[in-house]
Structure 1
Amino acid sequence: MNVNTCLLYAALVDVVTSLWVFVARDMSFPTLAKAMYLPGVLSLAFVDDVGAYLWQIMGTQSFYKSVVYCAVAIVLTYVLVYGCVGLGIGLGWTAKSQPVSVTVQKRMSVTGFLRAAGEEMGWRCYLLPCLMSLFTPPVALFISGIAWGLFHVAVMILLTKRLKTELPVRTIVVQCLACVFCAYPHGWLAIKSGYSIWPSTFLHFWWNHLNPHVLGSIYTNTPGVYYGQQWKMNGEGLTGCVVMLPVAVLISLELNQDFY
């Protein structure tokens, strides 16, 4: 693989996603969320042997690692989300919601898991190993994180405009930056499991359930068990950036040791 192939894939996904958001701009949030399938679907156009690629990412060659790191992913989700809760309370950004103000979260669904898998298939099972073949782990994770962050920008622009969110530019910027940092734990799980799709998908799926339930949704600007300004206190907001930054540094140091 060469750097042009990696970057072309990332750019294509982000451009196609932006076009999808434009076309579906008047549709429901679940319809917009179908963009999550695009990274996985488009990755199929970039591999030489689709069968071998799918066999690899299913984790059949590293079944034990896949199972272990799926469990790690679930534990890590709780650590990160409640780390955001603790930091938010400590800084005075977060408070407990009144029961009537808590948004009822939908139960975890198969389609939610499949959407998460669609993203992870592209970003962690194709783009990340592509970049890892060319760069050191911290650089590869950083580039993949930028691509992943930009992937969310179009829908954030649309939703902040649609919902008349306060401080929309700040909200969009911190959410994008949070995704850059979030790429490190997602990528770490993928690398450690031999680029199996399952561990990073479990982290993504569990996060998509737990973070909105506990801290609210930065996408729909609604509270969870705790409330505050979403751009500031959410796990995909400023608090999430602060919590994820040392995690990203530790992961970079750990992967660099293995690399060298």
Structure 2
Amino acid sequence: MNRSNMRISFVYLYIAVVLLVSWAIEGMSYYTGGYQSTVENIIYVMITPAVIALCFQIWAYKKSLWGEVLSIVKNCNAKAILFAIFYPLLFIGALSIISLFCGIGSVSPTSFSSFMQSLYMFPLYFLLDFPVFWGEEYGWRGFLLKHFTSSMGKFKATILVGLVWALYHIPLVFLLAKSTGIGNPMAVSLVQAVTAFFFSFAFSHAYYLSGALLPVVLLHWVWNMLNPAFLGNIYTNKQGIITGDIFFQNGEGIMGLVLSLLMAMAIGWHFIKSDKSSRAYRDA
């Protein structure tokens, strides 16, 4: 086996280990402590990709821990930061407007007032939440996407990472939906997984804009703060500012699936053109 194939083999081993460990944490949490224990242990599920990725980087790829830490901000640029902020803002804003315009949802003044009063705390929340969201993004984009891209290009790499990300979410969403009664657990988990797959194109784009992890972590955090705040929480079945059928209107529900599909098609086409240009350059 040549060195390149060996490196990719380690990546597939990484996928197997991360999924098995994550699923084990979710399963044990649910069957030993029920819904509350599962929610409390989500933090351990989220940091699993990074912890295992760091082990692989040091053991299999002989990377330095300090070098991997620096990848958080290395080559970061304003374009990537702006995309990380405005993509989820526009996405959630579009779904909110559609929901209101179609009469699917209605505004909760109390929830809106509470949200506005908490805005000044968002910088502190980001600093406190950063290690947890970095835990996912270092594993998926900083390790997995990076290795796949070097061997197969942006489009195929994003598809593979998206599939893994979708599989990673399915058991957790299924167990939470089973507890909260938000809908048919299988349907909820499958829709959320497919939406995550499509949404991974935006995450890849945020990473490719600079190669730094900070924009991707910021995108993930903004999404996780604003999507449940406005469109309800699909994990806990709690209403947001726009009250209505959470499973239907949520960014990780039916409406989110449709919009994320359209965005994935647009971003995916950009990746395909970029990959063709890269191949033409290498062949020249």
TM-score, with length taken from structure 1:
0.89
Correspondence for 1:13: 18
Show CA shifts across 1:8-37 (max 9, x none): 222221111011112222115233233111
Q: Does 1:75 align with 2:75?
A: no
Q: Is the 8 A contact 1:153 1:176 kept in 2?
A: yes
TM-superposed CA distance for 1:58, in Å, is: 2.5
TM-score, with length taken from structure 2:
0.82
Q: Equivalent residues in 2 for 1:89-100 (5 A)?
A: 89-97=100-108, 99=110
Correspondence for 2:253: 237
Structure 2: distance between partners of 1:50 and 1:100: 46
The structure that is helix-richer by fraction is 2
Shift in alpha-carbon separation, 1:120–1:210, aligned structure 2, 3 A: same
Show CA shifts across 1:79-134 (max 9, x none): 11112223334554333336379997986423322211110100011000111122
Show CA shifts across 1:173-193 (max 9, x none): 111111101111111111111
- Equivalent of residue 50 in structure 1, options 44, 49, 64: 64
Correspondence for 1:220: 236
Shift in alpha-carbon separation, 1:54–1:82, aligned structure 2, 3 A: same
Shift in alpha-carbon separation, 1:156–1:173, aligned structure 2, 3 A: same
Greater shift in the superposed pair: 118-127 or 222-231: 222-231
Q: Is the 8 A contact 1:214 1:225 kept in 2?
A: yes
Correspondence for 2:51: 41
What is the percent sequence identity of the aligned residues? 25
Higher relative CO (Cα under 8 Å, sequence separation at least 6) belongs to 1
Shift in alpha-carbon separation, 1:257–1:150, aligned structure 2, 3 A: same
Q: Equivalent residues in 2 for 1:107-256 (5 A)?
A: 108=122, 109=125, 110-194=127-211, 196-256=212-272
Shift in alpha-carbon separation, 1:141–1:6, aligned structure 2, 3 A: same
Structure 1: distance between partners of 2:236 and 2:114: 10
Correspondence for 1:59: 73
Structure 1: distance between partners of 2:28 and 2:172: 11
CA RMSD of aligned residues (A): 2.4
Q: Which runs of 5+ in 1 are unaligned?
A: none
| Count of matched residue positions in the alignment of Structure 1 and Structure 2 | 256
Q: Is the 8 A contact 1:170 1:231 kept in 2?
A: no
